[in-house]
């Protein structure tokens, strides 16, 4: 295979053409709309999603973690960290954007072990809203096949609506980061696709569905666009994130500690977003922090410059099907290894390497094990609240056999209900002229999370999660 290998000194450019075989299976990422993927890229991505179900099953591990730590407001002593709905009241805990950025990155990096040219594409649900099973997105050769293979039970368009372009424009115009983050998380641009797709997507187990990653890659792209328009606007109080706190182990590997403020710019992860057949790589220094070869693949024009630097001792490759331009500000220092390559056969699998158990194009028919959280379709419509006029204490939480409901005063009439996470009512009791109730007989409940609801005079004044140990 003939490729172009370029060594650029600060004052001298030497071009060598030679024969060589790359044996690295490492990469960074140029992400693009799934519409801009070549057929071989789509095939490689689908094969990688299937292969992620093997071994430690990263798809399931990330979905279960996301479910277990989705939203724990009101649980225990209130200090348990979670992923969702910490704004507007708990800015010190909010990690919505950076946590999902790392989740996508973790999945993408695992896929790049299989094929270094894979990158996670995005689905913009504000303009791409077809339910046609023959459309590119939902075709049996792309995202459509997972519905049957993994029994996801999607119901496209059954609930909604999806966001509009105006929703996106209005959201991106918000200049305050905390307001922007809260509106993104709770509003139609994020929530819309979750409820519209159906199946696992509106539940806490939404990462079971591969379309989750295409949707959240778009959310991540919008955050990147927002940060570019509001430089330095994103900030976090918390300095690490659950799963990415240096203690979590997946498949024998301890995941790193990540400070959210360290990844507010996608370049920190070597990630760039292309659009309209152009990938602009700038303001970036190759470091090989995550991969020994930083590999950037894009079917269309790659333009590198404006302080794109390959320092001495580092390794970088740009690969395009069509064109690569090195513009002013591109520097490859003496002692750096830099490769620019045209993918003449337009086949990303040429550079891929099969995983230990299967080829990249394997199809895995593997339904997920039953989890009652899959029945809770309102995960993205948080309903926990306490009326501002009534103070209610619950204890102990977690509980074993009983839980005390302590009202702020005696009420003439109120009702207490207990639900499981699917929304099924397990208990309903009415009380008159009481202040403190000891709900006993709960020892038969299975371990897990439940929702306790209090109604006073026909009005719901409390919904709160409680844990049975």
Distance of CA 56 to the CA centre of its chain: 19
Chosen domain end from 343, 375, 407: 375
Q: For position 412, what pLDDT does the model report? A: 80
Q: Tens digits of per-residue pLDDT, 376-404?
A: 888 898 654 444 567 888 899 899 999 99
Residue 11 lies in a domain: no
pLDDT exceeds cutoff 90 at 54: yes
Residue 180 lies in a domain: yes
Its pTM stands at 0.79
Chosen domain end from 375, 404, 433: 375
Q: Are residues 280 and 408 in the same domain?
A: no
Residue 4 lies in a domain: no
Residue written as token pair 């279960």: 64
- CATH number of 422's domain: 2.60.40.3080
- Structural domain for 337, as ranges: 27-74+82-359+367-375
Residue 164 lies in a domain: yes
Rg (CA), the chain: 25
Give the chain's end-to-end CA distance (angstroms, integer).
Answer: 61
Residue 17 lies in a domain: no
Whole-angstrom distance, CA of residue 463 vs CA of residue 468:
16
Between CA 357 and CA 364, with CA 362 as vertex, the angle to 5 degrees is 95
Residue 433 φ then ψ, to 5°: 50, 55
Q: Are residues 287 and 410 in the same domain?
A: no
Whole-angstrom distance, CA of residue 293 vs CA of residue 313:
11
Chosen domain end from 319, 348, 375: 375
DSSP character at residue 33 = B
Whole-angstrom distance, CA of residue 385 vs CA of residue 414:
17
- CATH number of 155's domain: 1.10.1280.10
Q: Are residues 390 and 349 in the same domain?
A: no
Q: Are residues 293 and 419 in the same domain?
A: no
Q: Are residues 164 and 259 in the same domain?
A: yes
Structure tokens at 381: 């419509």
Residue 157 lies in a domain: yes
Q: Are residues 421 and 354 in the same domain?
A: no
Q: Do 151 and 387 meet the contact criterion of CB atoms below 8 Å apart?
A: no
Name the least confident of 24-28, 202-206, 279-283: 24-28
Q: Are residues 299 and 196 in the same domain?
A: yes
Q: Are residues 326 and 210 in the same domain?
A: yes
Q: Are residues 329 and 392 in the same domain?
A: no
Q: Tens digits of per-residue pLDDT, 121-149?
A: 999 999 999 999 999 999 999 999 999 99
Whole-angstrom distance, CA of residue 178 vs CA of residue 1:
51
Number of domains in the chain: 2
Structure tokens at 213: 């990653």
Residue 456 — pLDDT band, cuts 50, 70, 90? confident
Q: Are residues 297 and 354 in the same domain?
A: yes
Q: Are residues 148 and 179 in the same domain?
A: yes
Residue 19 lies in a domain: no
Name the more confident of 71 and 420: 71
Residue 394 lies in a domain: yes
**Average pLDDT of the segment spanning 341-347:** 91
Q: For position 156, what pLDDT does the model report? A: 98
Q: Are residues 336 and 390 in the same domain?
A: no
């Amino acid at each position: 295979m003939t490729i172009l290998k370029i060594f650029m000194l600060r004052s001298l450019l030497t071009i060598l053409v030679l024969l060589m075989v790359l044996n690295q299976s490492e990469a960074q990422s140029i992400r693009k709309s799934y519409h801009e993927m070549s057929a071989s890229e789509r095939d490689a991505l689908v094969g990688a999603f299937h292969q992620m179900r093997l071994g430690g099953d990263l798809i399931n591990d990330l979905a279960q973690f996301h479910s277990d730590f989705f939203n724990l407001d009101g649980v225990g002593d209130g200090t348990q960290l979670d992923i969702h709905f910490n704004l507007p009241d708990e800015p010190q805990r909010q990690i919505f954007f950076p946590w999902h950025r790392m989740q996508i990155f973790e999945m993408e990096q695992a896929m790049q072990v299989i094929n270094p040219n894979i990158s996670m594409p995005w689905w913009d649900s504000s303009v791409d809203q077809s339910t046609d099973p023959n459309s590119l997105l939902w075709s049996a050769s792309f995202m459509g096949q997972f519905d049957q293979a993994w029994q996801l039970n999607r119901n496209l368009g059954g609930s909604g609506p999806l966001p509009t372009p105006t929703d996106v424009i209005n959201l991106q115009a918000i200049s305050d980061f905390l307001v922007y983050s809260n509106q993104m998380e709770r509003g139609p641009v994020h929530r819309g696709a979750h409820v519209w797709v159906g199946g696992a997507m509106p539940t806490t187990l939404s990462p079971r569905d591969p379309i989750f990653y295409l949707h959240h890659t778009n959310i991540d792209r919008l955050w990147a666009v927002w940060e570019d328009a509001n430089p330095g606007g994103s900030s976090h109080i918390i300095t690490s994130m659950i799963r990415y706190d240096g203690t979590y182990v997946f498949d024998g590997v301890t995941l790193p500690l990540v400070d959210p403020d360290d990844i507010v710019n996608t370049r920190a992860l070597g990630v760039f977003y292309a659009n309209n057949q152009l990938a602009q790589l700038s303001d970036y220094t190759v470091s090989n922090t995550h991969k020994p070869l930083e590999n950037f693949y894009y079917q269309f024009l790659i333009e590198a410059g404006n302080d794109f630097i390959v320092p001495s001792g580092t390794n970088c490759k740009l690969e395009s099907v069509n064109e690569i331009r090195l513009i002013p500000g591109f520097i490859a220092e003496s002692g750096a290894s830099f490769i620019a390559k045209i993918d003449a056969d337009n086949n990303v699998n040429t550079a891929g390497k099969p995983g230990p158990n299967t080829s990249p194009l394997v199809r895995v028919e593997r339904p997920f094990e039953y989890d009652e959280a899959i029945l809770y379709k309102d995960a993205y419509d948080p309903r926990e609240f306490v009326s501002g006029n009534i103070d209610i204490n619950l204890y102990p939480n977690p509980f074993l056999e009983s839980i005390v409901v302590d009202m702020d005063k005696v009420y003439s009439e109120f009702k207490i209900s207990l639900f499981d996470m699917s929304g099924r009512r397990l208990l309903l009791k009415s009380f008159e002229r009481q202040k403190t109730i000891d709900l006993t007989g709960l020892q038969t409940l299975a371990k897990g999370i439940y929702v306790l609801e209090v109604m006073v005079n026909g009005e719901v004044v409390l919904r709160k999660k409680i844990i049975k140990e």
